Structure 1
Amino acid sequence: MISQFNIDPKQFDTKQFESIFFAPARAYAALSVDFTEKLVNAQLDATKAYTDTGLAQVRNLLNVKDAEGLRSYLEGQQNVAKELTERLKGDAEKVVSLQQDFVQQSQKLAESNVKQAQEAATKTAK
């Protein structure tokens, strides 16, 4: 029964198999890993910035010793809120940009892979 499925290694084109299946899979995996790395780094940067801001505010609050210090601290909170709002906006824009870039590169990769597969199919048919 197994003899029905004899495959002649001379007829099996590993280069074609590589170019149609494995190369595109590796390219997409590499693209995904790059995207993940950029996204994680952006998140780590944002987390560090937010943590540093929070700790700085706690330190400033610990330095309040009188009514004037409290007033100064509260006024500073408005600036901190404004800065955090701008930071959040920038971080969100960065993530959206990373996602858009990933989608565009994925589409280009898919188009390239389809084109290669069509060319390989055309060569095989001849």
Structure 2
Amino acid sequence: MNSSTNKATTEKTKQQLESVFVSPMRSYTLTALDYYDQLISAQLDAARAYSDMAISQARTWLDVKDADSFKKAMESQQKTASDFMERVKGDTEKVTSISQSFAEDSQKQAEETTKNAVEKAKQ
């Protein structure tokens, strides 16, 4: 009888550890991985767009041969600068949104974990 009581106690402790620590950590880790995946993807996308703009501008300046092509290059430079600023603004908003979503999800998970731990402690 004592052995079956020990097994039951061990099983209950194992279930409590799973529900209070292991499961919440797994859930948080998945949320964090998703966040970093989105963040790195956004950063790589932005870096690619910025480098494409820079290479395009360099090619434009390499084509300058006279006053008319110089004027076109200057106009292209102004448009690229404007496009770049819009892109930076959009990328900043995207990263901010991703970060806010992660913070909200993390906070919800922390609240749920705390609530579950209190409930388990009462049992």
In structure 1, the gaps of 5 or more residues are: 1-7
Between Structure 1 and Structure 2, the one with more helix by share is 2
Provide the residue aligned with 2:62 in structure 1: 62
| Runs of 4 or more above 3 Å deviation | none
Provide the residue aligned with 2:9 in structure 1: 11
CA contact (8 A) 2:64 2:70 kept: yes
Count of residue pairs brought into register by the alignment: 116
1:52 aligns with 2:41: no
* CA-atom RMSD in angstroms: 1.0
Q: Deviations over 1:83-123 (max 9, x none)?
A: 10010011111111111101100010011111111111122
**Identity across matched positions, percent:** 41
1:74 aligns with 2:74: yes
Give the structure-2-normalised TM-score: 0.90
1:105 aligns with 2:99: no
In structure 2, the gaps of 5 or more residues are: 1-5
The residue identity in structure 2 corresponding to 1:10 is: A
Q: C-alpha distance in 1, partners of 2:17/2:121?
A: 11
Q: Deviations over 1:5-44 (max 9, x none)?
A: xxx4431221111001111111111111110000000000
Q: C-alpha distance in 2, partners of 1:108/1:75?
A: 50
